[in-house]
Amino acid sequence: MLLYLVRRVLYAIPIALAVGLVCFMLVQIAPGDPINAIVPADAPQEVVEQVRRDYGLDKPLPVQFGLWLMKVVQGDLGRSLATGRPVTADLVSAVGNTLTLALVAAGIGFVMGSLLGTVAAVFRGSLLDKAAIGLAAAGVSVPHYWLGMVLVVLFSVTLNWLPAMGAGPGGSGAWAWDWEHAKFLVLPAVTLSVIPMGIVTRTVRGVVAELLNQDFVTTLRGKGLRRGGIALHVLKNAAPSVLAVMGLQLGYLMGGSILVETVFSWPGTGFLLNSAIFQRDLPVLQGTILVLAIFFVALNLVVDLVQTALDPRIRRA
């Protein structure tokens, strides 16, 4: 197990380097000049060139990438071109907010998806099965940013039950576990949970339905084992496959929440990325994408380790 862990960590290093390089090149070829986010439009050319030299943007691209990579290894992601603040300081708060939103949304989506998928598999072909499949298809098909706007109109504008924007009272970006802050989390979490709910529902239904037709389930029934015991064996065998899908979905929630966070003005990495794109804030863009990519790789590693612990067949392989 230790050798496997070391090998996977070593595999993650070139992946992180490749992600950093691709991110750097994509940001560089984007239209616009990042200096425009710093100096006014009527600034003299001498001032523009001086600022460009101060930020190292006058150097060749390979040199810029090498300097940025050396700083990243030292834990320095640079400073924002728009605000002058350290990128790391902005990312710590943003990652915490996005992780909170992703975990709550994943909890809602995974629990609902597991229940719907199990019910659909046990009662396959029935009205309950068709209803669960319909909900799953709707969850995957409906654009979550559109669903977010519908929920805002219904629960914030019409009913005035829940706040529409922000992460806390008075536009505060600091999160606290109390109802005054939690109610700001309800709408974005529900919106973000719809897609993983649909995917998990279909995955659980397919895996559980296949397992229910296996010979070992027939044997367990023939021995007189109760439904609860049979269900325990089925869920144990279904756990590795379902866990892999859940791990991927949690990673997607961390990196794919930009539209939902923008709709609800949730101060996370998606909202930070959206602002950085419009301001062409290169250090924020590169740092945020790199951190999210590393998180995704680390999450896949954790899922693989948990799968190995749950399934003896993987350990033997």
- Summarize pLDDT for 38-54 with one digit per residue, the tens: 777 777 888 878 888 87
pLDDT value, residue 131: 92
Contact 69, 20 (CB under 8 A): yes
Within 10 A of 37 (CB to CB), how many other CB atoms are there? 17
Q: How far apart are CA 115 and CA 197, in angstroms?
A: 10
Output the average pLDDT for the chain.
83
User: How sure is the predictor about 112, in pLDDT bands with cuts at 50, 70 and 90?
Assistant: very high
- Whether 276 shows a pLDDT value over 80: the answer reads yes
- Judged against a pLDDT cut of 80, whether residue 171 lies above it is answered with no
pLDDT at 172 over 70: no
- 253 versus 26: the higher-pLDDT residue is 253
Q: What is the pLDDT of residue 317?
A: 52
pLDDT classification of 22: cutoffs 50, 70, 90:
confident
Distance CA 178, CA 182 (A): 6
Q: Report the pLDDT value the prediction gives residue 201, as an integer from 0 to 100.
A: 92
Radius of gyration of the chain measured on its C-alpha atoms:
24
Compare 184 and 48 and report the one with higher pLDDT: 184
If you classify domain 94-278 with CATH, what class do you get?
mainly alpha
CA distance 281 to 287: 10
Question: Model confidence at 315, in pLDDT bands (50, 70, 90)?
Answer: low
Q: Looking at residue 190, what is its pLDDT?
A: 92
